[in-house]
Structures are given as C-alpha cells and as structure tokens.
Amino acid sequence: MKQSTSRYLISSGIIALVGGLLHIAIIFGGPSWYAFFHAPEPLIQMVREGALYPTVFCLVVAVVLLSCASYAFSGAGIILHLPFLRLGLSLIATVFIFRGVAFIPLAILRPDILARICNCKGVDSFLVITSIICLATGVGYALGVSEVQSRHRTRAEFRRRRAPADAEV
C-alpha cells in the first residue's frame, strides 16, 4: 500500500527547513544579520565580542527546526518513519501555533518578557510576519497530523480485514 504525501506537512517542513538553514546563515552573517533578525542587543554585542553563546544558541534553534522539518517529511512519507511520529507532529504543531498566537499579545501586555527573546519593543512588522508564518506552519502540522492518523487507521483496518483471509489459507 503506497503511502500518500501531505501537502500540509511538506509545506510546513519546507518552512521549518528554511528557518533552520536561516539560523545557520545568521551565524555566518555576523552581527548585522543578528540585528536584522531582531536578536536582542546584548546578544548582538556578544557576537561582536566573539562570544560562543550566540553561535551555540543559533545552532540549537537550527537543530530544533531541522528536526521539525524531518518529522514533517517523515509524516508526509518522503523519508523513513521516525519514532513517535504522531506525538512529535502534535507537539510541533502545538509549539508553532502557540508561538504564532502568543507573541503579539505578549508584545502588547508584557513587552519586557519578549524583549529577552527578540529585539521587539512592541508589535512591529517583523513580529507580525513571523507570528503569521509560525501560525500557518503550526496549522499545517496539525492538519498533517490528522492525515497521518487517518492513514494509520486506514492501514490498520486494511490489515484487520485481510488477517482472517490469511488465517484460512
């Protein structure tokens, strides 16, 4: 039985892949790239001073995003089946949706908390755009999870229907 692909998971996986690669590129881009992508000023200063922390932080974010992409591509049937696939996709969907929904109200209500994460001094175009991207990505993962679950149920029903016929032979 051929496994079908999910355009939702493929699209979301591509976005996560691009995000991961972008975080790697930021490391090589230096302080101006960190600033362009709204890193907090203390982090940008660390980059200027040659500190290792900003590089490690960007690499960790990149690895997380690349792992998210791997789970999306696995759920779409493009790469091998990863462990805890449905759970992983559900958690990834939850995190992206939370990020997409929570940051704008957080910027309005508690900008001091958000200032530690990014150089946002309130709601700006960067925050709105990244929130929309995260929300759309999370919804794509959520829709993909439902497709994976449906595919899993269909395969299980197929095996159950086929099992008695095999037992008679």
Q: Can you give the pLDDT at residue 2?
A: 43
Beta-strand ranges (E) seen in the chain are none
Assigned domain for 148 exists: yes
User: In terms of Cα–Cα distance, which of 121, 117, 95 is closest to 107?
Assistant: 121
Q: Can you give the pLDDT at residue 1?
A: 35
Assigned domain for 86 exists: yes
CB contact burial 142-152 (16+ within 10 A = b; e otherwise): bbbbebbeebe
69-86 confidence digits (pLDDT tens) = 999 999 998 999 899 999
Range of the domain at 32: 7-168
Q: Can you give the pLDDT at residue 127?
A: 85
Q: Can you give the pLDDT at residue 50?
A: 95
Assigned domain for 81 exists: yes
- d(CA 155, CA 169) in angstroms, rounded, equals 21
Q: Could you count the other beta carbons within 10 Å of the beta carbon of residue 130?
A: 18
Assigned domain for 40 exists: yes
Assigned domain for 2 exists: no
Assigned domain for 115 exists: yes
Structural contact between residues 38 and 119, judged by C-beta atoms closer than 8 angstroms: yes
Assigned domain for 68 exists: yes
Number of domains in the chain: 1
Assigned domain for 109 exists: yes
pTM comes to: 0.81
Q: Which residues of the chain have pLDDT under 70?
A: 1-5, 116, 119-122, 151-169
Calculate the CA dihedral of residues 90, 95, 13, 27 and round it to 10 degrees.
-150
